[in-house]
Amino acid sequence: MADLETTVVKAINAALAQAMRDDERVIVLGEDVAQGGPYQATAGLAGEFGTERVRNTPISEGAVCGVAIGAAQAGLRPVVEIMFIDFITLALDQLVNHAAKAHFMSGGQLSVPLVLRTQGGAGGRAGAQHSQSLEAWLAHVPGLKVVMPSSAADAAGLLASAIADPNPVVFVENKSLYFRREPALTTLEPLALGRANRLRSGRDVTMVALSRMVGEALVAAERLADEGFAAEVIDPRTLVPLDLEPIVASVQQTRRAVIAHEAVRVGGFGAELAARLQAAAFDYLEAPIQRVGAPFTPVPLSPALEDAYRPGSEEIYQAAHAALEWDGREELAIRQPRRG
């Protein structure tokens, strides 16, 4: 009997296996990947494809990324696993100064079909150096594509497209989503990069959420529905390229927007999205764009403090109410200079 449920980590494993069956150029590199990796995303791959194509590496993220770039330029399609996005700091020289720029600097002669899978997000009691959300760093670099799936189906479909892409793609997975149970995948079809997904329609407020916060936005939307408000929920799925058009169209209808991510608010991708959104839909907005993110502090190790640190459905709900209830007339009156 076929499984009725799956998880994000199983979907990723299935997508990797399928890509390796379809294309012998696809290889997997990383620390302990032949044993399944820290979350078992690569479990069973070495048994099926051998350790020539599923290669354990030394604990040196810069070296691993550099080897993968060379392999990609030589004609392979490497998928690199960096255990935590926090450790991507050690690979940024290779990723940012080489992988992202090779095609441009060679006048289009070189391509780097590389996927770097990494895991972000807090909630695992892993401390400040293993719990960050650093996707905004990567979205700031021309030449990199950045993907953030929020479900098993999206993880599988987007990973298939990322592996097939001729450009370097950073695939940011959220650890808190790995083992959440979801309906089993009936098919494993690629999902185009740069296509947002509208998960819920609404007329009163648009919620744009990333990764884990998509589920939190849906919870907040249900809570608002009990109060008579209809919230639209959109998952961009990829930060680069960003599918801005459906988000703008939604805000033009609802006239209010909330942007939610787990990363700290200061300098987070929500700031970039808010800027682009207000530039495209300024005349339609009836309230300031609300941004939800973590406080500007390292992730606490204390369970109670980490729980308080992580934004969730409550913060999204409160932000939506701030947009729905905003009335700028009093603020405008305060700013008006006295005459006479």
Tell me which residues are annotated as active site: 61, 130
Question: What are 15's two structure tokens?
Answer: 């997508």
The answer to whether the CB of 81 falls within 8 A of the CB of 28 is yes
Specify whether the CB–CB gap between 249 and 214 falls below 8 A: no
Whether 201 contacts 233, CB under 8 Å: no
Q: Give me the sheet containing 77-82, strands edge to edge.
A: 54-56, 26-30, 77-82, 115-120, 169-174, 145-147, 238-240
Strands lying side by side in the sheet with 290-294: 197-200, 231-235, 205-209, 257-264, 290-294
What is the distance between the alpha carbons of residues 279 and 273, in angstroms, rounded to a whole number?
10
Phi/psi at 179 (nearest 5 deg)? -110, 15
- Report the number of secondary-structure helices (H) and strands (E) in the chain: 13, 14
Supply the DSSP symbol for 90: G
DSSP states along 94-127:
HIIIIITTHHHHTTTS-----EEEEEE-S-SS--
Please state, in angstroms and rounded to a whole number, the distance separating the CA atoms of residues 27 and 258. 40
Strands 115-120 and 77-82: parallel
Nearest to 98 by CA among 41, 162, 141: 141
- Is the four-CA dihedral 118, 122, 125, 131 of positive or negative sign? positive
